[in-house]
Amino acid sequence: MSAPQFLRLSKLAVFTSLALSGVAHATEENNNESLEKIAVYGQHHKNYITEDVQSATKLGLTIKETPQSISVVSRALMDDFSLDDINAVLETTPGVTVEQIETDRTYFKARGFEITNFQVNGMGTPQDNGSIQGTLDTSIFESVEVVRGANGLMTGAGNPSATVNMVLKKPTYQTKVSASASYGSWNNKRLELDASTALTENQAVRVTFTKQKTDSYLDRYEQDKTIYYLAYEGQLTDSTTLSVNYVNQQKDADSPLWGALPLYYSDGSATNFDSSTSTASDWSYWNNSTEQVFVAVEQSITNTWFLKANYAHLVNEQDSELFYVYGTPDRETGLGLTGSASEYDHKDKHDIFDLYAAGKFDLFGMEHDLSFGVNQADMDNYDKLVKDDENGAPTMPELGSWDGTVPTPTFDDGLTGGDVTNRQRSAYISTRIRATDSLSLLAGVSQVNWQSKGMSYGVAKDKKADKTIPYFGTVYDINDNLAAYASYTETFVPQTQREINGDYLDPITGKSSEIGVKAQLLDSDLFVTLAYFDAKQVGLAVAIPGSPPDDTRYYGADGINSEGFEVELSGKITDTLSTSFSYSNINIDGDELVKNYTPKNQYKLAITHKVSEIEGLTFGLNYRWQDDTKRIQPVTTLGVIPVTKQDAFGILNLMATYDITDNVGVSFNVNNVTNEKYIHSLFWAQGYYGAPRNYAVSVNWQL
């Protein structure tokens, strides 16, 4: 697949990237585009180190100049190891835990908190929780940036976890065409087409199409994905640039999980089903569609100042009929479970506008950076849930021998749901002051207003919050290749609970501190980051003892406090050996449940080696390991409190590619080589197993 060297993020990445992202300012002085050219040292091509990737950032900072942690998963890494959805990408990302609770719903966590800010081309909105329905396909992305820590200055409401920014492929002015066809385990068939060309000297377009159909290791589960992508970029005048991106993703799933497997028997002992066992019925389905439009206009003002306006329109829809299984089975018979059918529809719409100016100014003989702007995000969420009254709650047979047969439901009872409107407005300003050639001081402030109206499943969601969010940072260049940094920033989450006097509680404040060092080694081919972080919640709603159930009042208390460190290394070690390695350690206080199911230690490693003796041959491995986790279930059965344990485990994936000609190549991937059996997540009281050993072979062509 082609891998353009320049990408442009619209503003909210600017938003996120300033304090949260590692982005870099090019050194060209004579045109406006130099303001946005950056060197993100993540991964690029087979060397896993990205140079001159383009990403809008208000202060035009390089990774080394930015006092927070950022990881970049490149197009090359996605291609090498067939990281075809966002779950697979984030499983390779330092410090991120993928909590895949169902086949088509996943949560992501970083530094002990849910990730609730997801962006495409830097445009995105915070949400009440971090669940992603369906799976986002990565064929249209050039890279995925993950910035860890609080992000309130850049995006408003959210947790002190991370921001995930998915950077779309950009049109190229050189004609490039590529195609890839693959086949793998469980009849997994996938086709990708990608074409980019110039229309005129100052205009270019790109078109991408992806189709995938596959069965699964899970009984009855099937997927059908279709993705269309169109991108345009043009120079309207010598000083004005327009870019437009359109995304349409459709994922249809038959017999998906809604809920998952019971994790313990009625005697308190752990269940141990076959990896293929599913609680999905043969008639259930879950269809997810996403349509997105991004428009950006950039106007050069002077050689060092520009004005940029961004607009995004995002619509997500879900249509599903689902089957949920609950209860506690008997260890000997497997009986004791009950089923429940429901029809669930969902639609959310986001309209986001951002306008900002950025540039440089001279003061006291030094050149400094300044950016300021405004942002508004309007979000509408609609849910509808209908129960099956006619069939009630059918008694389930033993799961191991069940074929998915259950009465087809009639959805005509228990209509409920939600209709909530959210609006976030913010105004922000940030600056970098160069105190000396080696010392930079960064500061910023964002004034954010949040308003919500509506009801969700019988609960009022009306809430208002105003928050002033600070950001402070400093970077000291020890030498040309080594820098030390420190930063402090905040974020917030509005709350609907009321204090003893009837007023709404203040928002939860997420506070994030970080110190570390960053180094460019081996002639800048290798980038290393060592970071220590401390993140905490302040003002979390806790019920006042003795409050009446129908009018419970709350007070603000400390929530989760996490601290730990992260080590990341990525780049080219030799001319033939490239790597991306990370180690993360986290200690959590304030919530024993979260502490228990969050792995304390994680290792992640990707390596590729070009075989010099055989031109065109490359081998690689992708390995991730986490230590043991557990979940103490909130029940007592036969006098025993069940404890679900997941032992430490590692997943090893291998790859090999061979370039038959300059235009044609083949690749072979084997995943979970050791056939490790493991539970995807203990985030919920149910869970299911990861995929056993599987393979895929593909043929790749490019012009």
Percent of the chain with pLDDT strictly greater than 90: 66
Predicted confidence (pLDDT) at residue 11 exceeds the cutoff of 50: no
Percent of the chain with pLDDT strictly greater than 70: 90
**Amino acid making up residue 667:** S
**Amino acid making up residue 34:** S
Q: For residue 640, what pLDDT is reported?
A: 86
| Residue 461: other Cβ atoms inside 10 A | 19
Any domain includes 143: yes
Predicted confidence (pLDDT) at residue 376 exceeds the cutoff of 80: yes
Q: For residue 9, what pLDDT is reported?
A: 30
Q: What is the CA radius of gyration of the chain?
A: 25
Q: For residue 47, what pLDDT is reported?
A: 46
Q: For 289-307, what is the mean pLDDT?
A: 95
Q: For residue 133, what pLDDT is reported?
A: 81
Any domain includes 87: yes
Burial zone of 608 (CB within 10 Å; 0-12 exposed, 13-18 middle, 19+ buried): buried
Predicted confidence (pLDDT) at residue 651 exceeds the cutoff of 90: yes
Confidence grade of residue 1 (pLDDT, cut at 50, 70, 90): very low
Greater model confidence, 230 or 53? 230
Any domain includes 35: no
Any domain includes 44: no
Predicted confidence (pLDDT) at residue 151 exceeds the cutoff of 90: no
Any domain includes 49: no
Q: For 384-395, what is the mean pLDDT?
A: 82
Greater model confidence, 447 or 10? 447
Confidence grade of residue 307 (pLDDT, cut at 50, 70, 90): very high
Predicted confidence (pLDDT) at residue 154 exceeds the cutoff of 80: no
Supply the range of the domain harboring residue 305. 63-702
Confidence grade of residue 153 (pLDDT, cut at 50, 70, 90): low
When the pLDDT of each residue in the chain is averaged and rounded to a whole number, the result is 87
Per the structure, the count of domains in the chain is 1
Cβ 107 vs Cβ 593: under 8 Å: no
The whole-angstrom separation of Cα 649 and Cα 627 is 7
Q: For residue 224, what pLDDT is reported?
A: 97
Any domain includes 229: yes
Confidence grade of residue 491 (pLDDT, cut at 50, 70, 90): confident
Among residues 147, 174, 172, the alpha carbon closest in space to that of 161 is found at 147
How many residues in total does the chain contain? 703
Greater model confidence, 48 or 672? 672
Any domain includes 25: no
> H or E element: which one contains 77?
helix 75-80
Q: Give the pLDDT confidence of 32-49 residue by residue, as tens digits.
A: 333 232 233 333 333 455
Sequence-ordered list of residues with C-beta below 8 angstroms from that of 548, at least 6 positions apart, any chain: none
Predicted confidence (pLDDT) at residue 29 exceeds the cutoff of 80: no
Q: For 291-301, what is the mean pLDDT?
A: 96
The whole-angstrom separation of Cα 270 and Cα 337 is 15
CA distance to 78, 362, 448, per residue, from 475 (Å): 32, 19, 27
Any domain includes 108: yes
Predicted confidence (pLDDT) at residue 152 exceeds the cutoff of 90: no
What is the CATH number for 207?
2.40.170.20
The whole-angstrom separation of Cα 280 and Cα 324 is 7
Predicted confidence (pLDDT) at residue 25 exceeds the cutoff of 60: no
Predicted confidence (pLDDT) at residue 57 exceeds the cutoff of 60: no
Q: For 183-197, what is the mean pLDDT?
A: 97
Q: For 64-77, what is the mean pLDDT?
A: 87
The whole-angstrom separation of Cα 322 and Cα 384 is 13
Q: Give the pLDDT confidence of 560-571 residue by residue, as tens digits.
A: 999 999 999 998
Q: Strand ranges (DSSP E) for 201-336?
A: 203-214, 222-237, 240-254, 261-262, 285-300, 305-327
